[in-house]
Structure 1
Amino acid sequence: MWKALNEALPVFELIIKRGMQIDGRCQMCGVEGESIIHALFQCDPARQVWALSEIPHSEIGFEEESMFGSLNYLLKLKNSKRGEVKVIRTWPWLLWGIWKSRNELIFKGRRWSPEEIKEKAVNEAEEWFLVQEVEEETNKRSVNEVVSIKRKWSPPRKDWLMCNVGFDWVKQTKLMGVAWVVRNHRGVVLMHSRRVFSNVRSLDEARLVSILWAVESMTSLHYNKVVFTGDYKEIFMAAQKPLHWHALRYHVVELNQLLRRMSDYQLLSVLKEENRGAVIIAQSITREGRM
């Protein structure tokens, strides 16, 4: 479809326009000047395929419309409530079948009948939609399985601390609440803090500002062997492999300036369920107005 709309299909009319000396007649029906709309809609075999398909024609008819008009009509056909859904949805495969049959004749000398093209299109469309249904059902099951598994906070190694960082950013007001909670390997909370930030313009900025504040807090408290956890997958991956994340170069530079003050640390991205305590404290700022 993209190639058809951009005059990128190698029909004879366009090949001649590009300076090649060839016979410009349509090899399917013998008409002079094989254009894209002719090959896909106006050629006798193509017209027979569309007739057999039982897809409703527009009032103007495919023969008179432009390529854009014809595809626009087909794309909107689903919402017009004309004809059966199973019939209407086969049209992309009909187009593909018509084009393939034209190439089969030119390059291999084999002619497909209109009935053959229509039958292939119907079968391929049915297979495709069946696969989508199966995939959708599989995805639903996967989501349900993930939801059913309740993830909990897991402790760090012995002699290490875990700093869970949570934030809650409000797009409309540009306010953000941030909180961090520090626990030891036994799960005992040693310290926690929260803070509000204003004029935070994006989710990306929210992530950067919140993790920088948490790391700065840990270095100010002279904590060492700290595992920083939270919803910071991209930033943490960029910090570990900066050459693969050029777009986050600024984030990495800012973060590394603070992390250099610690001799041992780890960066760990976790799901919200594993970071629940810090997130709830952060939400208390924005949702309860604790500024």
Structure 2
Amino acid sequence: MVFLDYGALAVSDRLRTRAINVDSTCNLCRQNAETICHVLFNCMVAQDLLSLANIPSPPSGFGVSLEDNMDLIFKLMEYSTVHPYAKWYHGIFWNIWKNRNAVLYAHKQEAHSLIIQRALEDARTWHEVNKSSTQEGRNMSRLNLMCNKWCPPSIGTVECNVHANWRKELWHHGGGWIARDHLGSVLFHAIDAFTSSPDRLIAELRCIIWSLQSLKDLHLSKVSIASDMIGAIDAITKPVEWPRYRVFTSQIAQLWLSFESCEFELEKSSANSIVRDISSSVTRYGLFQFYMA
């Protein structure tokens, strides 16, 4: 964020110091002078986006000093284990700035949830590009391994296998998930019945949303969601290429923010067989009552 140190953002306050006669009022909220600090921290639009991203703020809110606010952000980034969203901060602030420009110059206002989703995508891309080749190879090996049998997650991570048992002719479809630790011990498993979905992919995405919400309610911080449907994983990791399903991928992106670590993996059907049996029992035996054990 070097550009902040040099006041390089072309807000009205900075333009006026260069003898450019512009209205100094913020064009987004029309309440205060448009300074760098205001655009990134104090404007009601910025505050909505920071709140949506779950970025901690002082009890009295961010102040009017850019240096003090950035000092707090840098301190939070140092303690990313305490504040799990710290490593994404640069992506969030960058998209706050891009949103300001889109409103002013393109007269385009997107939903705040989509802005935060894009911020996470930008930050993830940046981190992926800047990984060392060794670390990148190690991280990708698990995704590409595609074991025929279930493979345990890393220590400290809970793997949640999910599956939606969808049938076009049925009014309901079944969903199930099973969460296991690195030893393979089953921690939780659940089933539920969902109203009919227009296609198999939507059914799977709804099931993933349900599982994420459940894991969040169970206060699990490091999770891995495993599905045997390549379209679902692709839609989650590349939402721009799947615009038809954005209403679901946006919900998943928001739930993703609730975890310190959350990955999505593609499983072979054989490695996902237990949860496939669990979800199929909903329609096979008419088990339309939710349970988690």
TM superposition score normalised by structure 2: 0.46
Question: Which has more radius of gyration?
Answer: 1
TM superposition score normalised by structure 1: 0.46
Q: Which has the higher contact order (CA 8 A, sep 6+)?
A: 2
